[in-house]
């Protein structure tokens, strides 16, 4: 199994509990996107909400309790052309498996504008929860008009003196409840209908964002010491190098109502195959589906392949 967000960990719980000996490979961000968030208020079962990292920690411990084995590594290559499937994992070597669950999630998108790359880590961030603390008493910008942008803007007002939301259109994409929360926050200023053009710095740190004001057609500089980009995510499927069917963006295609990919024995769950719902609870739900699909698959091929074969073959 690849990935340890809510999808991967739910699949691990189900497979471990069914004595299927899952090996879970966790990449650069164990626990996935929820480890970068604060309070999760809409995961059923937590009346007062739960902190994202705590939720993921609980899921991991639950999987470990049933015997799931966690390994840290970065998959650089896969060969899905025959069974067993082979993965090359940095730090682990070659891993072979009869069946594979892909739950590698999605990563934050960047604006792809001048000045952005050189300021990552020195004024430009994609994670308010991780970096907001560094902007105590400073002016910051959030780019984006979705729920993430609203949530992160509110969060940043705990630290920053002012948070300006820059969005390329007049209408926000965010849900009404999230919009209303942001609109009620007196520390949030609005820069609607403004398209980001360039991250401006003084050679060391960020000093502002150049934007095009789409009402006037003029360029403007919005001053800030920090810029947080919250414009959505890209599915983490580059390592598959085209061996599994995806859509044009890279989201893995699954057969409707299942987690089956186009390769028998390989299943996908969570945000890596979902550009629509993208919720922790839907990711967890598809993780459960993937585990059940794997169980049925291994039962169906058990005469040809031994499901216990999965394992690390070299260090
Ligand atoms: P999103 O809904 O896709 O919104 C992305 C925003 O970034 C859009 O407003 C988009 O503008 C803007 N954008 C995209 N590319 C851009 C670019 N190159 N330059 C400037 N702006 C750009 O992504 P999200 O806010 O990360 O939310 C993803 C999913 O997670 C959603 O389903 C959301 O409901 C969910 N979510 C839920 C919660 C919660 O309930 N607590 C919190 C966070 C996220 P346009 O609108 O013009 O396309």
**pLDDT tens digit string along 89-119?**
998 899 999 999 999 999 889 999 999 999 9
CB-based burial label for 104 (10 Å; 0-12, 13-18, 19+)? buried
- Provide the pLDDT confidence category of residue 36 given band limits of 50, 70 and 90: low
Same domain? 220 vs 243: no
pLDDT above 60 (res 305): no
Q: What are phi and psi of 191, to 5 degrees?
A: -125, 75
55 and 101 belong to one structural domain? yes
Identify each DSSP E strand in the chain by its residue range.
Answer: 23-26, 39-40, 50-51, 69-72, 74-79, 85-90, 93-97, 100-102, 106-108, 124-125, 139-143, 162-167, 188-192, 194-201, 206-213, 219-223, 226-229, 233-235, 266-268, 311-312
Question: What residues does 104 pair with on adjacent strands?
Answer: none
In this predicted structure, what is the pLDDT of residue 314? 45
**All residues at 6 or more sequence positions from 4 whose CB lies less than 8 Å from its CB, including other chains:** 12, 24, 26, 27, 30, 31, 32, 56, 60, 70, 103
**pLDDT of 303 above 80:** no
- Split at pLDDT 50, 70, 90, the class of 306 is very low
Same domain, 99 and 14: yes
pLDDT at 14 over 80: yes
Residues 166 and 245 in one domain: no
* Stretch 61-78: mean pLDDT: 95
Cα Rg of the chain, angstroms: 21
Percent of the chain with pLDDT over 90: 81
Domains in the chain, number: 2
Q: For residue 312, what pLDDT band results from cuts at 50, 70 and 90?
A: low
Pocket flag, ligand 1, residue 131 (CB < 6 Å): no
Separation between Cα atoms, residue 186 and residue 177, nearest integer Å: 16
d(CA 185, CA 69): 45
Residue numbers of the domain that contains 290: 6-108+233-313
- Alpha carbons 56 and 87: distance in angstroms, whole number: 25
Ligand 1 pocket, mutate which of 36, 46, 52, 148 (most atoms under 8 A from CB)? 148
Q: Spot the catalytic one: 130, 180, 219, 247.
A: 130
**Structural contact between residues 73 and 89, judged by C-beta atoms closer than 8 angstroms:** yes
Q: How much distance in Å is there from the Cα of 17 to the middle of ligand 1?
A: 36
Is the domain of 154 the same as that of 64? no
> Ligand 1 centre from 290 Cα, in Å?
27
Q: Which tokens go with 8? A: 């991967």
Q: In CATH, what number is assigned to the domain containing residue 180? A: 3.50.50.60
Q: β-strand 50-51 against 69-72: which pairing, if any?
A: unpaired
Average pLDDT, the chain: 92
Answer yes or no: 269 catalytic: no
Phi, psi dihedral angles at 275 (to 5 degrees): -105, 10
Q: Are residues 167 and 250 in the same domain?
A: no
Residue 247 lies in a domain: yes
The answer to whether position 305 is within a domain reads: yes
Same domain, 129 and 186: yes
Is pLDDT above 70 for 41? Answer: yes
**Pairwise pLDDT comparison (30 vs 123), residue with the higher score:** 123
What is the average per-residue pLDDT within 148-166? Answer: 96
Query: How far, in whole angstroms, is CA 83 from its chain's centroid?
Result: 29
CB atoms within 10 A of CB 28: 8
Q: Is there an atom of ligand 1 within 6 Å of 181 CB?
A: no
| Domain membership flag for residue 1 | no
Structural contact between residues 96 and 23, judged by C-beta atoms closer than 8 angstroms:
no
The verdict on 141 and 224 lying in the same domain is yes
Q: Given this model, what pLDDT does residue 285 score?
A: 98
Q: Name the band, by pLDDT with cuts 50, 70 and 90, for residue 260.
A: very high
The preferred substitution site among 146, 173, 197 for testing ligand 1, maximizing ligand atoms within 8 Å of CB, is: 146
Residue that finishes a domain, picked among 196, 229, 262: 229
**Residue 34 Cα to ligand 1 middle (Å):** 16
The answer to whether the CB of 83 is under 6 A from ligand 1 is no
**In this structure, are 212 and 258 located in the same domain?**
no
**With a 6 A CB cut-off, is 170 part of the ligand 1 pocket?**
no
| Residue 37, pLDDT score | 66
229 CB less than 6 Å from ligand 1?
A: no
Same domain, 209 and 251: no
* Neighbouring-strand partners of residue 226: 140
Residue that terminates a domain, selected from 203, 229, 255: 229
- For the record, the structure tokens of 106 come out as 């999605």
Tell me whether residue 185 is in a domain: yes
205: in domain: yes
> 54 and 120: one domain?
no
Q: What is the torsional sign of CA 28, 58, 104, 271?
A: negative
Mean pLDDT of 218-229: 98
Asked if residue 249 has pLDDT above 70, the reply is yes
Please say which residue of 179, 196, 229 terminates a domain.
Answer: 229
Task: Provide the percentage of residues in the chain whose pLDDT is more than 70.
Answer: 95
* pLDDT value of position 157: 98
Q: Domain check: are 97 and 243 in the same one?
A: yes
Higher pLDDT among residues 45 and 35, named by residue: 45
> Are 235 and 251 spatial neighbours (Cβ–Cβ below 8 Å)?
yes
Grade residue 59 by pLDDT with cuts at 50, 70 and 90.
Answer: very high
Residue 112's Cβ-count burial label (10 Å; 0-12, 13-18, 19+) is exposed
């Amino acid at each position: 199994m690849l990935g340890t967000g809510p999808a991967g960990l739910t699949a691990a719980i189900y497979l471990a509990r069914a004595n299927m000996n899952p090996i879970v490979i966790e990449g650069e961000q164990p626990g996935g996107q929820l480890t970068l968030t604060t309070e999760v208020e809409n995961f059923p079962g937590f009346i007062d909400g739960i902190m994202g990292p705590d939720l993921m920690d609980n899921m991991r411990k639950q999987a470990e309790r049933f015997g799931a084995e966690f390994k840290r590594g970065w998959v650089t290559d896969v060969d899905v052309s025959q069974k067993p499937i082979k993965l090359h994992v940095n730090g682990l070597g070659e891993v072979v498996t009869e069946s594979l669950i892909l739950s590698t999630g999605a990563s934050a998108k960047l604006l792809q504008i001048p000045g952005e790359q050189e300021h990552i880590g020195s004024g430009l961030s994609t994670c308010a929860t991780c970096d907001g603390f560094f902007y105590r008493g400073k002016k910051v910008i959030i780019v984006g008009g979705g729920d993430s942008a609203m949530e992160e803007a509110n969060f940043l007002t705990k630290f920053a003196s002012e948070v300006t939301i820059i969005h390329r259109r007049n209408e926000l994409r965010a849900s009404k409840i999230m919009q209303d929360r942001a609109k009620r926050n007196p520390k949030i200023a609005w820069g609607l209908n403004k398209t980001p053009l360039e991250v401006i710095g003084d050679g060391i740190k960020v000093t502002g964002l150049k934007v095009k004001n789409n009402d006037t057609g003029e360029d403007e500089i919005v001053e800030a010491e920090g810029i947080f980009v919250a414009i959505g995510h890209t599915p983490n499927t580059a390592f598959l190098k085209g061996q599994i069917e995806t859509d044009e963006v890279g989201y893995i295609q699954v057969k409707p109502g299942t987690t089956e990919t186009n390769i028998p024995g390989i299943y996908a769950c969570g945000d890596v195959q979902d550009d629509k719902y993208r919720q922790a609870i839907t990711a967890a739900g598809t993780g459960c589906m993937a585990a059940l699909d794997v169980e049925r698959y291994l039962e169906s091929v058990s005469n040809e392949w031994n499901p216990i074969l999965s394992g690390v073959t070299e260090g």
